């Protein structure tokens, strides 16, 4: 007799243990990949236009800007 059991496990992971290419691939699969963002002007313009129009869905652009400036994703 077999039973299927679902459980949740919390695991601490050090991102330094992963290859950069693997991290980039994962980000790209989520739609927040690392691409050539230039100097950030286009990203800032996109955020500005969304905010000017009362939109709040500029998190992806903000993540891109953080990556461009700091080389890190929050």
pLDDT digits 0-9 by tens, 1-47: 889 999 999 999 888 898 888 887 887 787 765 555 567 888 899 99
Query: How large is the angle between the packed helices 41-52 and 59-70, nearest 10 degrees?
Result: 150
pLDDT in the model for residue 10 = 93
CA distance 59 to 66: 10
pTM of the predicted model, to two decimals?
Answer: 0.46
pLDDT in the model for residue 72 = 77
């Amino acid at each position: 007799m077999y039973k299927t059991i679902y459980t949740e496990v919390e695991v601490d992971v050090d991102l330094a243990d992963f290859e950069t290419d693997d991290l980039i691939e994962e980000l790209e699969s989520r739609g927040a990949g690392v691409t050539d963002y230039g100097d950030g002007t286009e990203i800032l313009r996109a955020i500005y236009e969304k905010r000017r129009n009362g939109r709040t869905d500029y998190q992806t652009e903000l993540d891109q800007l953080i990556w461009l400036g700091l080389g890190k994703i929050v």
